[in-house]
Structure 1
Amino acid sequence: MSVDRPFDLYCPTKIKFGAGITAAAGAEVKALRGSKVLVVADPGVVKAGLLEGVLDSLKKENLPFAVFDQVEVNATLSSVVKASELQKSEQCDILLLVGGGSTMDTGKGVGCLATNEGPLPAYEGPEKYSNPPLPSIAVPTTAGTGSELSFGAVLFDEERNYKFSFRSSMQIPKVALLDPLLLSSLPSHVAAGSGMDALSHCAEAFVSKWATHFTDAYCRENFILVGKYLRRFVADPADTEAAGGMLQASSMGSMAFNTARLGLVHAMASPLGAHFHLPHGTACAVLMPAVMRFNLLACPEKYREMALLLEGAVFGNSMLDQAESGVYAVERLLDDLDMNVEIDTTLVTEEKLSQMADETLSSGMQLTNPRNVTKADVIKVYKDYFNI
């Protein structure tokens, strides 16, 4: 890794961490000079009572607000359109995003459309819109996506049956409130999927062609925290120490990939999720071993180090054998967290594989993957995952 390659490091978000820190939401809105808040959430967050403290903090500061609570499990373009209509009718000038990655991505879409002409798919790709979006404050209720610190968003376009991303450094939230108490009622399968998403971000950023010493530092600490806390967190999301560790690991993942970018796992996960209706974190998690095996030749030293930080040990005498310890460490996590998804392979046709490979390569995320990727490579990795 060169120390003289130019790079941009994005860390503009004010991070406030601590149990009960969501009580500061109202004060942070005022600090950003917001006058009316659009609160964006999903039905599960509302049902779990996680909005109550946030709304109380707004009331305490005498801040008017409107609530959009129809975010779907996988963020959709149609939800963004509905939320945008509410934002415009209520004339909200700041966003408070309470939830997981889908909520954050929905809010980023709303922020963009508040100041830029639609349709949103016109802004697919990096830095495509020109007007700064509405400012946002992010309150994650999962530990994994890192969306509270990221410049990217992914939405499902139902009409095209296609997931697209839009990315801008302008849409990174202004403030992130990391409150481990908000994770206490998280279902274990959600904790597992989001936690593996956090790991996948650093597993990709660590071996990226754009990795830097800064991003490697975030990744190394992410591996230590995930290895120490993910199993505990899934076993008991009310374990405040484990929840706090995973929240911090998640944020580190975002800080790493904002600069180093991602790779083949995320490029392939969007088509996999879209065609087989898998949550994003799950799609990333189950693809990791196959992609890591494909990448082994390009970065064995990095995967060896990843294994050491996750589990404290490697096996074998050769570098490649020791590097494969990183793959096995991920496979053990998937087994322990009961995340091995079975997909009906009769649905996996050559035509579908070809389409998924084209969608993978159209994302551009594979360009920073440590090993160069062709369409044939993508199809082979998918087949390795499907075991066909």
Structure 2
Amino acid sequence: AAGLASAGKAQMIIGIGGVKTLSIARAVALVAPSDLRADDYIDGIQPDKPPLPFLSVPSACRDPFMFKDSIMLTDGRNRSCSLMSTAGVYPKAVFIDPETAVTIPSATFTFSIMDTLMYSIEGYMSEKSNFLSENLFLKAISAVVTSERRLDENLTDREAFIKAARAGLVTAMGLSMAGPGLGAALSMIISAGYRVPRVLVSAVILPIVLEYGLKVCPEKIARLAPILNESTEGLPAVDAAARVIETIRHRIGLKRVQMRLSEFGIGLDDLSGIASAVRKFDFITQLPAPVSTDDLITMLRKTL
């Protein structure tokens, strides 16, 4: 793609698609003027010319890296995943149209909503999160729950798509100030290494994220109760958080997700490599509490 853009003297790059596609398009905008390939960029060779203007059109109404100076790239040579710096280069414009999501199969869109929820919860739990970003994440979580409820009642409910688009945008705004977490890292690594759509991995991994939150920051999770219309008055923080998590699992349909990592060709022997690969992502240092490789393997065992 970078070669085509360079040879064709492209004046602008427009990315239309999911998170992976938008990351590739943004990388092309960065490297094409310098006659570099994406592989060169992954190998650390920096562009020596200004990037092309980049316009982003998220087809599923969300891109968690929209306002971050980093993108997710898969190295086609070894199927590893890297989070690459864009050196402060952002999209010149982002076009979010809920109508683009109407053409996406309902099951796929539901998984996309779960992906947004995972990123918003992880951002909310991040050590870097502040007052402003926390409020953005709370709004995103509320919008996700509302969207899923409306889609349960009517798969063509336009308001549900608008809510989902709003959740994706607000989550991206929050992540400009905070970092994602374990779920984001795991979904990137597994998607790249095992050629599985990332949103499917996120749906399988989300229970791990919720259980981790219950263990390390129950007070924060418990504060989600009001936006879920869940009464937790008088309950200890851990019990309140457990009730919140159960409500989330029920409302967004996690109980209907029957997939396991084993269905993606992942076995017990693969878990150590996956858990070790998580360490290369800098944002892991922003977790509310550290997680050892052994702890992560134990978590992943539950999803096999």
State the TM-score, normalizing by the size of structure 2.
Answer: 0.88
Does 2:126 align with 1:231?
Answer: no
Question: In the TM superposition, what is the alpha-carbon distance from 1:171 to its structure 2 partner?
Answer: 3.1
Who wins on radius of gyration, i.e. which is larger? Answer: 1
Does 2:15 align with 1:102?
Answer: no
1:104–1:148 CA contact under 8 A, matched in 2: no
2:149–2:252 CA contact under 8 A, matched in 1: no
AA in 1 matched with 2:244: G
Question: In the TM superposition, what is the alpha-carbon distance from 1:297 to its structure 2 partner?
Answer: 3.4
* CA distance, structure 2, for counterparts of residue 314 and residue 216 of structure 1: 20
Q: Deviations over 1:315-374 (max 9, x none)?
A: 882211111223323422453684331343795544311111111112233211111121
What does residue 251 of structure 1 align with? 169
Count of aligned pairs between the two proteins: 304
Pairing 1:133-144 to 2, within 5 Å after superposition: 133-144=51-62
Question: In the TM superposition, what is the alpha-carbon distance from 1:270 to its structure 2 partner?
Answer: 2.0
The verdict on how the C-alpha distance between 1:314 and 1:172 changes in structure 2, with shifts beyond 3 A counting, is farther
Does 2:74 align with 1:159?
Answer: no
* CA distance, structure 2, for counterparts of residue 327 and residue 94 of structure 1: 44
1:188–1:234 CA contact under 8 A, matched in 2: no
What does residue 222 of structure 2 align with? 304
Does 2:293 align with 1:351?
Answer: no
- Pick from 178, 186, 191 the counterpart of residue 109 of structure 2: 191
* CA distance, structure 1, for counterparts of residue 47 and residue 23 of structure 2: 16
Identical counterparts, % of pairs: 21
What does residue 135 of structure 2 align with? 217
* CA distance, structure 2, for counterparts of residue 362 and residue 298 of structure 1: 22
Pairing 1:373-388 to 2, within 5 Å after superposition: 373-386=291-304
What does residue 33 of structure 1 align with? none
What does residue 282 of structure 2 align with? 364
The verdict on how the C-alpha distance between 1:363 and 1:148 changes in structure 2, with shifts beyond 3 A counting, is closer
AA in 2 matched with 1:106: I
Give the SS at the match of 2:100: helix
1:143–1:191 CA contact under 8 A, matched in 2: no
1:99–1:140 CA contact under 8 A, matched in 2: yes
* CA distance, structure 2, for counterparts of residue 331 and residue 125 of structure 1: 40
Does 2:121 align with 1:203?
Answer: yes
1:145–1:194 CA contact under 8 A, matched in 2: no
Does 2:182 align with 1:270?
Answer: no
2:30–2:51 CA contact under 8 A, matched in 1: yes
Question: In the TM superposition, what is the alpha-carbon distance from 1:260 to its structure 2 partner?
Answer: 0.4
Question: In the TM superposition, what is the alpha-carbon distance from 1:233 to its structure 2 partner?
Answer: 3.9
Give the SS at the match of 2:128: coil
Give the SS at the match of 1:259: coil
1:152–1:168 CA contact under 8 A, matched in 2: yes
1:184–1:239 CA contact under 8 A, matched in 2: no
* CA distance, structure 1, for counterparts of residue 100 and residue 255 of structure 2: 21
* CA distance, structure 1, for counterparts of residue 219 and residue 43 of structure 2: 32
The verdict on how the C-alpha distance between 1:147 and 1:154 changes in structure 2, with shifts beyond 3 A counting, is same
Unpaired segments of 5 or more residues in structure 2? none
The verdict on how the C-alpha distance between 1:354 and 1:294 changes in structure 2, with shifts beyond 3 A counting, is same
Give the SS at the match of 1:156: strand
- Pick from 70, 89, 92 the counterpart of residue 10 of structure 2: 92
AA in 2 matched with 1:171: V
Question: In the TM superposition, what is the alpha-carbon distance from 1:217 to its structure 2 partner?
Answer: 1.5
Give the SS at the match of 1:385: coil
What does residue 291 of structure 1 align with? 209
The verdict on how the C-alpha distance between 1:347 and 1:194 changes in structure 2, with shifts beyond 3 A counting, is closer
* CA distance, structure 1, for counterparts of residue 258 and residue 225 of structure 2: 20
* CA distance, structure 1, for counterparts of residue 294 and residue 57 of structure 2: 41
AA in 2 matched with 1:261: G
The verdict on how the C-alpha distance between 1:211 and 1:123 changes in structure 2, with shifts beyond 3 A counting, is farther
AA in 1 matched with 2:16: V
